[in-house]
Structure 1
Amino acid sequence: MNPMPTHELARRMAELARQVASPRRVEDVLSDVTAEARTLIPGVDAAGVLLVGTAGRFESVAGTSELPHRLDELQMRFKEGPCLDAALDQTVVRTDDFRSEARWPQYAPAAAEIGVLSGLSFKLYTSEQAAGALNLFGLRANAFDDEAETIGAILAAHAAAAIIAGRQSEQLESALSTRDRIGQAKGIIMERYDVDDVAAFDMLRRLSQDSNTKLTEVAAKVIETRGT
C-alpha cells in the first residue's frame, strides 16, 4: 500500500479535529479514529482502544473487528502486553514480530498463535482513575515503520482529546445535577422552616457534617421528604 499524500493526511486530520469538537459520543469519535488508522497507516489490519480502570477493570472499545477485543482480553488475563505497557507506563510501544518477542512471555505467543505478528500502541491519557491506549495490529511481521508511529501518534492525540472532552462533559453534567439537587433541597427547607437561602444551606451543611454524609446525599434525602 502506498503512503497517503501529505495533503490527504492533513484533510483527514482536519476532519477528525472537527469531529472531536462536535457534540458526539466519545465512542463514535474513537470508532472514527480506529477506522482512520486502518486507512491512513499501511500495515494496520485491526485497531482498537483499551481503557484500563481501577481494580483491574477494563474496556475494549472502538475495535475495527473482534480481533482487538480478543487481544485485550488476553492482556488482561496475563497482566502483560504492549497495550497495557503503553496505557500504564510508556508512550509508544512497537513490536515487529510477536514470534520472537521476549517482553511478554505469555501474551506474545498467544498473539502470534491467532495470527497477529506486529503491534503498535500509543498512550492516550492517564488519570487517577484510568489509563488508555490506541492499539494497532498487523498480520505480518515488521508491518510498521517510523512514519506509522508519527501518524499513529497524531491519531492518538485526537482520541485522547475525545476522551478528555467526554470526561469534562460528564463532570459538568454531574456538577449541574448536584447544584440542582442542592438548590431544590434548599427551597424545600426555606419553605418548610421559613428561613432564608443562607440559613437553609447552613442547615444542609450541618446535617452533612453531623451525619458524616455527602452534601448531595443529604439534599437527596430532603427532596425525598417532600410531601411527607
Structure 2
Amino acid sequence: MDNSQPLASELARLTGQAAGGFLTEENASKAVQSLSYVLRDSIPSAAGAGASIINARGRRESAGATDPVVLRADRLQYELGQGPCLSAWAEQRAIIIQDTRQETRWPKWIAAIADLPLRSVLSAPLTTEGRRIGAIKVYSPSPLVFDDHSVFLIERLANPAAVLLGNVRDREATQRLGLQLGEALANRDVISQAQGILIERMHLGSRAALDVMLASSREEGKPLQEVARGIVNGLADG
C-alpha cells in the first residue's frame, strides 16, 4: 500500500491553511514540529523524524523533532557542521545511512551519536521554486530498514512540505522585517526627541547635539538609541 497518499493529502491541507492565512499565529518552529510527526507516521519502520528550515549559509533557522533522540542527533549536525541532513540539503538529493555502525561518511557526527539508539537514517531536501528551504529526515533504531521505496515516499512528501515551510518562512521574514522597521522608527523618534532636548538645554545646533550623544555612546559603551532614551527619560523624571 502507498502510505504516502493520505499523508501527502495532510501536508497539502496544511499547505492550503498556510496559503489561506490560517497559520498566521503559528511560527516556523510550530509548523516544523507538526511536520515532524507527519513524517514519522509516513515512512514504514521510522521511529522518529525531524524537519529543519536551513538558511543560505547552511545554518538552522528552525527545527522540529518527534522526540529527544532525534533532536539531539539534529543538534549535533548543526554543531559539527556535518551529517546526512546537511548533506541532503547541500547536495539536493536523498541520503540513506543503512547502518550508522558501518558508516564512514561524516565521522565526527557518527562518533557523536554512537550512544544514541540510531542505526538507520533517511533524509531528503526541501526545495520549492528553486529555493533550498531545508531538509526532512527519519530515523530508526534498527539497521537496514530504509530502501528505495522509503526514498520514493519521503521525496513524494518533500514537495508539499517545502511549500508549507517556505510559506511559513516567508511570513516570518515579513513579520521580522516589520518588527525591525518598527524598532528603527522608534529609535529614530527617540533620537530626535533627545536631540531636541539637548538643543533646548545646551543651546546647540542639531549636528552638535547629535555629536554630544555620539560621544556619550562611545564613552559609556552604549548604543546611541539607549543614550537618547536616557536623555528623554531623564527629562520625564525631572
Among 107, 116, 119, the alignment partner of 2:119 is: 116
Matched with 1:133 is 135
The alpha-carbon distance between structure 1 residues 11 and 66, as it changes in their structure 2 partners (threshold 3 A), is closer
Among 70, 79, 82, the alignment partner of 1:80 is: 82
Deviations along 1:57-97, one digit per CA (max 9) or x if unpaired, are 8678321011212212443565431122234x222332050
Aligned residue for 1:80, secondary structure, equals coil
Which TM-score applies when normalising by structure 1? 0.69
The alpha-carbon distance between structure 1 residues 51 and 10, as it changes in their structure 2 partners (threshold 3 A), is closer
Count of residues in Structure 1 that have an aligned counterpart in Structure 2: 214
The answer as to whether partners of 1:86 and 1:92 remain within 8 angstroms in 2 is yes
Matched with 1:5 is 5
Matched with 1:14 is 13
The percentage of aligned residue pairs carrying the same residue is: 14
Tell me, which stretches of 5 or more residues in structure 2 are unaligned?
A: none
Aligned residue for 1:103, secondary structure, equals coil
**Equivalent AA in structure 1 for residue 123 of structure 2:** L
Aligned residue for 2:33, secondary structure, equals helix
Report the more deviating stretch, 33-42 or 52-61.
52-61
Tell me, which stretches of 5 or more residues in structure 1 are unaligned?
A: 126-130
Deviations along 1:170-223, one digit per CA (max 9) or x if unpaired, are 2320211111121232134346536xxxx95x678777888998xx93233222
Among 186, 196, 204, the alignment partner of 2:192 is: 186
Separation in 2 of the partners of 1:74 and 1:11? Answer: 30
Deviations along 1:113-139, one digit per CA (max 9) or x if unpaired, are 7233132132579xxxxx853332234
Separation in 2 of the partners of 1:101 and 1:178? Answer: 50
Report the more deviating stretch, 55-64 or 102-111.
55-64
Among 33, 40, 48, the alignment partner of 1:38 is: 40
The alpha-carbon distance between structure 1 residues 102 and 60, as it changes in their structure 2 partners (threshold 3 A), is farther
**Equivalent AA in structure 1 for residue 125 of structure 2:** F
Which TM-score applies when normalising by structure 2? 0.67
User: How far did residue 31 of structure 1 move?
Assistant: 1.0
Deviations along 1:23-63, one digit per CA (max 9) or x if unpaired, are 21222111111122223444432122456789998678321
| RMSD of equivalent CA atoms | 4.1
